[in-house]
Chain A
Amino acid sequence: MAGVLVLVALVLQVAVFPHLAWDGIVPNFCLLVVVAAALVRGPGFAATLGFFAGLALDLAPPADHVAGRWALALVIVGYVAGLMRQDTRSSATTVVATVAASSFIGTSVYALSGVVLGDAVVGSGDLLRVILVALLWDVLLTPLVLPGVIRLLTRLEPARA
């Protein structure tokens, strides 16, 4: 089920939102789903979901970068967001802060992996702009997307001992 959410997020991200994009930068729905999973189910589950969501981002067309880069970024996002959930009390503010931090970490890890692998890289000015705009997008969409996703994941959560 979480997988279906990721696929819906991916289609939204590549086929629907480019029409609303600011300079080609779209909200990272996959990242939002991973953060929601981290808030509901903790770091282990979120990191695993992040891996598969990242893999989908890496392999679905129009992607043309070295596979595994988004996977690594979203694994780290899932883990960090999961740990933040345990350290803080949950409130609207902390959720937004978690999304902001996750967005920053996710895009940065992706960009840094590009630098390490010698994949296509842009100048640091553009890089910073992309990271900040992406962060703004993600935070803007948090109140619209996260409550629904969190509710869905909570309802679907298999009973735990």
Chain B
Amino acid sequence: MRPFRPRPPRLLRGYRPLRPGPDRFDQRSDRARLRSRMVALVLACLTLMTLDHHPGAGSPLEPARSAMGSVFGPVESATSAAIRPVTDIGGWLHSRTSMQNDIASLEAQNSRLRAQAATTQYARNQLAEYQGLTSAAGTLGQALVPAHVVAYGPAQSFSRTVTIDAGSDAGITPDQTVLNADGLVGRVLRVTATTATVLLIVDSGSVVGGRVGASMKVGFLHGEGGLGDHGSLDLQLVDASQAPAQGDTIVTWGSHDGAPYVSGVPIGRVTTVYASLRESTQRAVIKPFVDFAALDLVGVVVPSGTHSDRGIIEADGTLQ
């Protein structure tokens, strides 16, 4: 008689059920083969980690990284461009939870006008962003290469990096400042021909020299590796006796030749000040101006007159 066989659950339909009886890995040789393969794979991983222990220009894996970058960059750019019209609307509403109440009341007032403008809204948003970037270039007196953020590093990797769709062809080199209309975004870590990887200032490995706008005191801002909207920075002043006041604006201090950060870019606002008596230092928490969960258009600071494959926004607002 044919044994009764239950119909497999829907999730597994098409998936061949396991053969009854002793499975393949009970045989000693197969087991040994599996074990040696596992040992080889784990050793390969450990070798990679050893070779790459100091990522950066000196790592032997850097050529592999840039090769992967040149292959993956265009794919990421294309995917991101394909879905941007869809995500732009969603991101506009959902990523700024803190502003949702304001948006709700404004939306009620504007619903009639918005209905008329619905088809052009995306273009309007983009125009506003470009205008913001142009005015940022003017305020700073620096030339900017515009670029879009096309990929985010997952938070599971515990580092805050993004890919932008402009690379060495657009005149970008490592250690250049990245900003958007709101303020400082980060710095360029490495470039391929068409993409660049940007370290966000909220990454826990990021250190930025900052200056308190009100008192001109300098200090260092450490990223806290915070996630999503909660990204914040930690400010320690060089002069420990001076406490920044709540609400003070922090701008970049700048370094020689503007690498990695040019001076005078707004970073954020002091939200809380902690005085640590034991260490006799003053710590302040800075809320960045930039919404890192909704990055789209950014500008990379380049020397004026850089040769680029796209328009450069010059300091006087002209497009080169």
Binding site for B on A (CB under 8 A): 10-11, 13-16, 18-26, 28, 39-40, 42-44, 47-48, 50-51, 54-72, 75-76, 79, 85-86, 89-92, 95, 107, 110-111, 113-114, 117, 119-122, 126-127, 130, 134, 143, 146-147, 150-151, 154
Instruction: Determine if B159 and A65 form an interchain contact, defined as CB atoms under 8 angstroms apart.
Output: yes
B196 to chain A: which residues have CB within 8 Å?
A: 61
- B65 beta carbon closer than 8 Å to chain A: yes
* Contact A19 to B90, CB < 8 A, known contacts A92-B9, A130-B227: yes
Known: A18-B154, A24-B154. 10 other contacts (CB 8 A): A18-B152, A20-B90, A59-B61, A61-B151, A61-B197, A66-B49, A89-B18, A90-B15, A110-B156, A120-B225
Q: How far is the CA of A43 from the CA of B25 in the complex (A)?
A: 10
Q: Can you name 11 A-B residue pairings with CB atoms under 8 Å?
A: A15-B75, A16-B79, A23-B227, A23-B228, A26-B155, A48-B41, A65-B157, A69-B45, A71-B48, A121-B204, A126-B226
Residue tally, chain B, CB below 8 Å to A: 76
Known interface pairs A42-B25, A63-B161, A64-B55; A21-B155 also in contact (CB < 8 Å): yes
Give the contacting residue for B205; candidates A16, A21, A86, A120; CB below 8 A: A120
Residue pair A130, B158 in contact (C-beta under 8 Å): yes
Interface presence of B46 (CB below 8 A): yes
Contact partner of B33 among A19, A44, A110, CB < 8 A? A44
Chain A residue contacts of B44, Cβ below 8 A:
51, 68, 71
Residues facing A in B1-54 (CB within 8 A) are: 9-18, 23-25, 33-34, 37-38, 41-42, 44-49, 51-53
Q: Give the residues in chain A near B163, CB-CB below 8 Å.
A: 14, 61-62
B197 in contact with A62 (CB, 8 Å): yes
Chain B residues within an 8 Å CB radius of A44: 33-34, 37
User: Taking the complex as formed, is B236 at the interface, i.e. its CB lies under 8 A from any CB of chain A?
Assistant: no
Neighbouring A residues of B199 by C-beta, 8 Å:
64
B47:A68 contact, CB within 8 angstroms: yes
Q: Given A62-B151, A62-B161, do A147 and B91 touch, yes or no (CB 8 Å)?
A: no
Residues from chain B with Cβ under 8 Å of A50 in the complex: 41
Which residue of B11, B24, B47, B80 contacts A95 across the interface (Cβ within 8 Å)?
B11
The residue that A47 contacts in the complex, of B38, B49, B53, B161, with Cβ under 8 A, is B38
Closest B residue to A51 by CB, please name it: B41
Does B14 contact A151, Cβ atoms closer than 8 Å?
Answer: yes
Contacts of A56 in B (CB 8 A): 68
Task: For the complex, give the distance between the alpha carbons of A114 and B157 in Å.
Answer: 9
Q: Are B33 and A18 in contact (CB under 8 A)?
A: no
Does B48 lie within 8 Å of A68, measured CB to CB? yes
Interface residues in chain B, defined as those with a beta carbon under 8 Å from any beta carbon in chain A:
9-18, 23-25, 33-34, 37-38, 41-42, 44-49, 51-53, 55, 61, 64-65, 68-69, 72-73, 75-76, 79-80, 83, 87, 90-91, 150-163, 189-190, 192, 195-199, 203-205, 225-230, 293
Tell me the complex Cα distance, A20–B95, Å.
Answer: 9
- B225 near A40 with CB under 8 A, answer no
Q: Knowing A48-B37, A113-B49 touch, does A11 contact B76 (C-beta < 8 A)?
A: yes
Smallest CB separation, B17 vs chain A (Å): 7
CA distance A134 to B156 in the complex (A): 7
Distance in Å: Cβ of A127 to nearest Cβ of chain B? 8
Interface centre among A58, A110, A127, A134 (most CB of B within 10 A): A58
CB-nearest residue of chain B to A96: B11
Give chain B residues whose Cβ lies under 8 Å from the Cβ of A63.
153, 157, 159, 161, 197
Q: Tell me whether B152 and A21 are in contact (CB under 8 A).
A: yes
